[in-house]
Amino acid sequence: MIDELDFRKSWSFFPTGVSVLAVKNQNDIIQGMTASSVMSISLNPPIIMVSVGVERSIIKNLKTSEFISVSLLSKNQADIANYFSRPHNPDNNFFYNKENCFYIKECLGYFLCKKNDFIKIGDHIVYFLEVEKFEFQDIEPLVWYKGNFENSL
Ligand SMILES: Cc1cc2nc3c(=O)[nH]c(=O)nc-3n(C[C@H](O)[C@H](O)[C@H](O)COP(=O)(O)O)c2cc1C
């Protein structure tokens, strides 16, 4: 029998970057969620993947929204990662937001996407997102390791 906490702990030894997954709700307010289960899947077409727990509040808007953005956080954005990993009032202040393009300001890079496919697996839904637009800069990433932000300022 696999112990859930032990399983989670084992993966905490594997460092990852940190992103904020974001969608717009019906009132055009952006809802964000901190996510580390993100990876690049396909180059042609350009597809990335993000895994979201079925109980996360962002799921409802993920189902309906046309555009989804994934912002990769830089090393001095641990406060933003913390903010979007806890219950909060949706707040557009953290985001660049023009027409259909929205992403965390001054992040390392962002991917503006449309949904391509999804699969429910266990207690998560894995979304495959097709990238429509992206930008990035060569700055240091925020790293999640052993339950902490390894290199936040
Ligand atoms: C560093 C970090 C990475 C996370 N990665 C994910 C993830 O990939 N998928 C996910 O569903 N939740 C992830 N979470 C948890 C969610 O951010 C958190 O449970 C969520 O924001 C809670 O929002 P809610 O109460 O509105 O559902 C992560 C949390 C942290 C601190």
Domains of the chain plus CATH, in order, are 18-144 (2.30.110.10)
Nearest CA to ligand 1 atom 5: 35
Q: How far is the CA of 46 from the centre of ligand 1 (A)?
A: 24
What are the tens digits of pLDDT across the range 90-108? 779 999 999 889 999 999 9
Residues of the chain with pLDDT > 70: what percent? 99
Nearest CA to ligand 1 atom 14: 35
| CA separation, residue 98 to residues 8, 28, 52, 66 (Å) | 38, 11, 25, 15
Characterize the bridge pairing of strands 124-136 and 47-53. antiparallel
Distance CA 20, CA 80 (A): 9
Q: How confident is the model at residue 130 (pLDDT cuts 50, 70, 90)?
A: very high
Computed over every residue of the chain, the mean pLDDT equals 95
Q: What is the mean pLDDT of residues 103-122?
A: 98
Q: How confident is the model at residue 125 (pLDDT cuts 50, 70, 90)?
A: very high
**Spatial CB neighbours of 133, under 8 Å, sequence gap ≥ 6:** 101, 111, 112
Query: Which residues approach ligand 1 with their CB closer than 6 A?
Result: 18, 33-37, 51-53, 56-57, 81, 84-85, 87, 144
Report residue 11 CA to chain centroid gap: 18
Q: What is the mean pLDDT of residues 101-127?
A: 98
Distance CA 126, CA 21 (A): 13
Strand partners, 74: 141
* Res 152: pLDDT: 57
Task: Work out which ligand 1 atom sits closest to the CA atom of 53.
Answer: 11
Q: What's the whole-model pTM score? A: 0.96
Task: Work out which ligand 1 atom sits closest to the CA atom of 82.
Answer: 31
Instruction: Report the residue among 16, 56, 61, 144 best suited for mutation to probe ligand 1: largest number of ligand atoms under 8 A from its CB.
Output: 56
Q: What is the mean pLDDT of residues 72-77?
A: 97
* Res 37: pLDDT: 98
Higher confidence at residue 99 or residue 7?
7
Instruction: Report the residue among 34, 83, 91 best suited for mutation to probe ligand 1: largest number of ligand atoms under 8 A from its CB.
Output: 34
61: enclosing H helix or E strand:
helix 58-64
CB 78 within 8 A of CB 26: no
* Res 151: pLDDT: 72
